[in-house]
Structure 1
């Protein structure tokens, strides 16, 4: 029998019309439960991401002095864009891992490299997001520094579904950015509340020598997976009618 594609969770069409529910409490509870059984692979993925970013910082420090980096906004912007480009495929891989976990599919650390399957679209989303954040933040600083922080928070929230749409659904980068903005605005207060709760939990996680990050960082990507599943839906491949378990994401 041929493989069958099945969508678990929400619907992209309905999400674009605002026909979805977002329960902050349920998302947090489900993300916590998912993380209990899907921790090790994400930790491994984060270590790979961290290692590559450390290498990037060392490379920058070999070209520019620390004083030059600290005093030059241009160098800092360049570093931000380079980080976005280098990290994009790995972040996409982490997000895809979280999406898989949300529908009960186990992953391994090497799955963090699955984002390279859609390398250019992920980089495009990352670069546009970074440039937009830098540009708008600079404009807001002219009004008031606090506005820059608020706008940065807003941009992060409204673009949070763009990479998942690229890596799971294969949506083009510009469409993914548009879809993310449109979908999040229907329930923007809840998205912002959820984001602020995560920031608060991250702050608490840092207090005990950063040990709490071992749990919180994987949970963030499992949370993205749960939110994505509930709102947009995850397309999986069902191997057969005798085996109801969905084994592979169809991306």
Structure 2
């Protein structure tokens, strides 16, 4: 495996295999580079990413309606068990659809034209993707329980839960892409993601703070800007993955989709 730093030309795809170097903390991650690159590649894959996002929204709505009937929750006296079931079922079913849009973002960040042929690849990895989501959720629940036992329901408890959840969300960012792209097992993908991004956690925080403001501003004019910025958030994941991991040295750069596959 060849280790290398990302290309100096920040407007281009990182073509080297940087996985081992990233594990050693040798690969930089720049906020401005990620945001600029993510925006630059958004328009070219916008139609197919909007289709995938629309599919996510429809499935999420249907699942929400079904779980609301099967596990009703009274707003005045909520049943915590039913709330938990609604959340768990929604999380499990939506995880592969979230992975689908991430995969499209990864391909787009590689300068590969995403196509509908790529949809099946994400769904084939559904068990591993769900496993990653379950692990993260369990860790958050365990940490929350410990904080509650120590601090009770207080401002300190809430702050610690928010910080822990944010850290896990950021440090798990590469886990699903590593499963989709490198075929890693759940535990290896999680461990690699945490090892790599823990060394770049402040850059990750900066990226998502900037994205929060971009999403907020884009939502102001009748939410129309979200047509562009929601797909951009998944391109951000793709660019982060490409910058930190690069392309597998043992594979062709375009293993699953090429421009002649009839991409949208």
TM-score by length of 2: 0.82
What's the Cα RMSD here?
Answer: 2.2
Indicate the residue corresponding to 1:100 in structure 2. Answer: 107
Shift of 1:138: 4.5
Q: Provide the rounded CA distance (Å) in 2 between the counterparts of 1:137 and 1:211.
A: 37
Shift of 1:30: 0.5
Structure 1 residue 46 and structure 2 residue 53: aligned?
A: yes
Indicate the residue corresponding to 1:71 in structure 2. Answer: 78
**Unaligned 5+ residue runs, structure 1?**
1-6, 239-245
Once structures 1 and 2 are overlaid, which stretch shifts more, 168-177 or 205-214?
205-214
Q: Provide the rounded CA distance (Å) in 1 between the counterparts of 2:72 and 2:85.
A: 14
Q: 1:169 aligns with which of 182, 187, 204?
A: 182
Shift of 1:123: 1.1
Q: Provide the rounded CA distance (Å) in 1 between the counterparts of 2:24 and 2:95.
A: 28
Q: Provide the rounded CA distance (Å) in 1 between the counterparts of 2:77 and 2:140.
A: 19
Q: 1:208 aligns with which of 189, 208, 221?
A: 221
Q: 1:69 to 1:194 in 2, by over 3 A?
A: farther
Structure 1 residue 159 and structure 2 residue 172: aligned?
A: yes
3-state SS of paired residue (2:92): helix
Indicate the residue corresponding to 1:60 in structure 2. Answer: 67
Shift of 1:39: 0.7
* Contact 2:23/2:195, CA 8 A, preserved across alignment: yes
* Contact 2:71/2:83, CA 8 A, preserved across alignment: no
Matched length:
237
TM-score by length of 1: 0.86
C-alpha distance after superposition, 1:186-232 (max 9, x if no partner): 11111111122222222223322322221111101111111101111
Q: Provide the rounded CA distance (Å) in 2 between the counterparts of 1:111 and 1:69.
A: 44
More strand by share: 1
Shift of 1:117: 1.6
Q: Provide the rounded CA distance (Å) in 2 between the counterparts of 1:51 and 1:44.
A: 11
Q: 1:75 to 1:201 in 2, by over 3 A?
A: farther
Q: Provide the rounded CA distance (Å) in 2 between the counterparts of 1:125 and 1:107.
A: 24
C-alpha distance after superposition, 1:18-43 (max 9, x if no partner): 11011110111000001021111111
C-alpha distance after superposition, 1:58-103 (max 9, x if no partner): 1112123341697133322322221221112222221111111111
3-state SS of paired residue (1:155): helix
Once structures 1 and 2 are overlaid, which stretch shifts more, 11-20 or 129-138?
129-138
Structure 1 residue 217 and structure 2 residue 224: aligned?
A: no
Shift of 1:104: 1.0
Q: 1:186 aligns with which of 195, 199, 202?
A: 199
* Contact 1:14/1:20, CA 8 A, preserved across alignment: yes
Indicate the residue corresponding to 1:30 in structure 2. Answer: 37
